[in-house]
Amino acid sequence: MAEQYIVGVGAVIASLLGFLFLYCNSLKRFRGLRKLKRAASMEFPKGNSVKKTGNSEGVGTRDIIIVGAGVAGAALAYSLGKDGRRVRVIERDLNAPNRMAGESLIPGGYLKLIELGLEDCVDEIDAQRLLGYTLYKDGKKAHVSFPLEKFQSHVAGRTFHNGRFVQRLRKKVASLHNVSLEQGTVTSLIEENGIVKGVQYKNESDQVLTAYASLTVVCDGCFSNLRRSLCYPKVDIPSYFVGFILTNCNLPTKNYGAIILAHPSPIVFSPISSTEIRCMVNVPSEKVPSVSNGEMACYLKTQVAPQVLPELYDSFISAIEKKGNIRIAPNKIMAAAPHLTPGALLIGDALNMRHAITGGGMTVALADVVILRDLLRPLHDLSDASTISKYLESFYTLRKPMSSTINILANVLQKVFSASSNPAMENLQHTFLGYLRLGGMFSYGASAMLCGLCPSPLSLAFHFFSIAIYGVGRLLLPFPSPKRLWDGAKLLWVASSILLPYIYSEGIRQMFFPLTVPAYYRTPPKKGALLVQSMLKVNL
């Protein structure tokens, strides 16, 4: 009770101070953004990926070209196709992806699938229901249940093989007669007078083709080679996920993933089918042992296995020993920094990436698809690329509640969960676990944000300050001493120095003061809207 009181009072005071600080900073950032926008509007970047039309065969014009039929591309193609658009999707490889990314869809992402009419894509793929995670540290544990009480019983997270899910999405796309889905690798965007007119690509027979459309949406994923001319990519790789599949074992709690706060970094377990559990070991970028020469297997056996839950130990060792089972993928962080380009738009990992620890990437991508679909809905005519591009600028502010909440949480938690020699960091881990155990609005609110059900930057700020006050209160009890005060100050310093740079990179103004962003108020261009009205009249 005393703990909850400390948190409650402290959170209110801290929130007020925090918002004052954020407001001052937002004014500074506003000036910076204006400069950036002015520069952006002046010239079209001459990156490698944007070329004028060369010698290639034309394949005709569609309303929209989508590059990449991964999670974002396939979901977008389906939703725009359902709205009657003529869409061409070009995907490098139409076979089922065999990757260890995108295997866990949090409940917020499942709700987005429902909004898009794609919820049946998690059926018939042996997907497992996910109701939360159990966090383990030094023999203690904390359950983080997703707050699903207010939803129908089918609403929950899902875990699955990414390839099976993506193939289900693609099958839905292929079922629409006005959407063409073809295999090909897009090599460049076609640009004329600063406007993207379409793409150049190689089909399966290595033939070079060109395709034209009023709008090209680039969703070519985390290794995007087309993003360079459409955004200012600043990619950070704090760690790698080393992954492998465990069989013949069960997690301690059915329908719950497990996260072990191990040394030096966390280990995540989630069931990806009724018989398989994916294990992901986070390995900091500075010390990644080589997989090919066996150093990684040795590292996993000697450093990681002893920290694994006893019931998983044998399967863990067998999985490491299985030839070719160990895979490795970079955890990339990239804030969205779009370069407004008439005729083209980026979404998905090509636009924005966050650490994979919370499994939020697909949810952000699907939420972006919903926003983009809704923005495009009133427009029949997309031919005035410059006007449409200006109108679509609002997309980058409208996406902030979901994207910035999930991005910041993921990026902050990967730091907090990674142990360090700094005792203040260790304190922060204990504080976070203690906060989750408080129950009530504290753990409920935090888990609602984690699972994409409460995408709110203000809620994020509130919980951050509540956690900070709770942590300091814990350190000062039963009575403050100079050492305790000093430890409390260090905790606050460490917590702020982790959080604030991520808030800054997301854009304080767009996150906390979206109503002051002019693009927020953009309405559909009159020409397109009139056309829609006249179409409606004809149809009536």
Ligand X SMILES: Cc1cc2nc3c(=O)[nH]c(=O)nc-3n(C[C@H](O)[C@H](O)[C@H](O)COP(=O)(O)OP(=O)(O)OC[C@H]3O[C@@H](n4cnc5c(N)ncnc54)[C@H](O)[C@@H]3O)c2cc1C
User: According to CB under 6 A, which one of 70, 132, 266, 524 is a site residue for ligand X?
Assistant: 70
Binding of residue 365 to ligand X (CB under 6 A): yes
User: According to CB under 6 A, which one of 10, 102, 198, 338 is a site residue for ligand X?
Assistant: 102
Binding of residue 96 to ligand X (CB under 6 A): no
- Given strand 157-159, what is the order of strands in its sheet? 104-105, 157-159, 128-130
Distance, CA of 201 to CA of 208 (rounded, Å): 6
Distance, CA of 285 to CA of 331 (rounded, Å): 9
User: According to CB under 6 A, which one of 7, 59, 67, 121 is a site residue for ligand X?
Assistant: 67
Q: Minimum CB separation from ligand X for residue 162, in Å?
A: 7
Binding of residue 87 to ligand X (CB under 6 A): no
Q: Minimum CB separation from ligand X for residue 158, in Å?
A: 10
Q: Minimum CB separation from ligand X for residue 102, in Å?
A: 3
Cα dist. 108→191, 211, 438, 449 in Å?
37, 35, 23, 9
Q: Minimum CB separation from ligand X for residue 10, in Å?
A: 33
Residue 252: count of CB within 10 angstroms of its CB: 14
Binding of residue 101 to ligand X (CB under 6 A): yes
Structure token pair of residue 42:
């002046």
In the bound state with ligand X, the residue whose beta carbon lies nearer, of 372 and 428, is: 372
Distance, CA of 220 to CA of 217 (rounded, Å): 9
With contacts defined by CB under 6 A, name the span among 102-110, 170-178, 283-291, 427-435 that binds ligand X. Answer: 102-110
In the bound state with ligand X, the residue whose beta carbon lies nearer, of 103 and 276, is: 103
Cα dist. 84→40, 87, 169, 177, 262 in Å?
32, 9, 18, 10, 50
Q: What would the x/- binding string for ligand X be over residues 335 to 364, using CB under 6 A?
A: -------------xxx-----x--xxxxx-
Binding of residue 220 to ligand X (CB under 6 A): yes
In the bound state with ligand X, the residue whose beta carbon lies nearer, of 357 and 491, is: 357
In the bound state with ligand X, the residue whose beta carbon lies nearer, of 347 and 492, is: 347
Q: Minimum CB separation from ligand X for residue 330, in Å?
A: 6
Residues in contact with 98: Cβ distance below 8 Å, sequence separation at least 6, in sequence order: 163
DSSP per position, 194-246: TEEEEEEEEETT--EEEEEEEEEEE---TT-SSGGGTB----EEEEEEEEEEE
Q: Minimum CB separation from ligand X for residue 356, in Å?
A: 4
Distance, CA of 71 to CA of 155 (rounded, Å): 19
Q: Please, are residues 332 and 236 in contact by the beta-carbon 8 Å criterion?
A: yes
Binding of residue 107 to ligand X (CB under 6 A): no
Taken as a whole, the chain contains a residue count of 540
**Count of residues interacting with ligand X (CB under 6 A):** 36
Distance, CA of 389 to CA of 356 (rounded, Å): 30
Q: Which residues bind ligand X (CB under 6 A)?
A: 67-73, 90-93, 100-105, 185-186, 219-222, 241, 329, 331, 348-350, 356, 359-363, 365
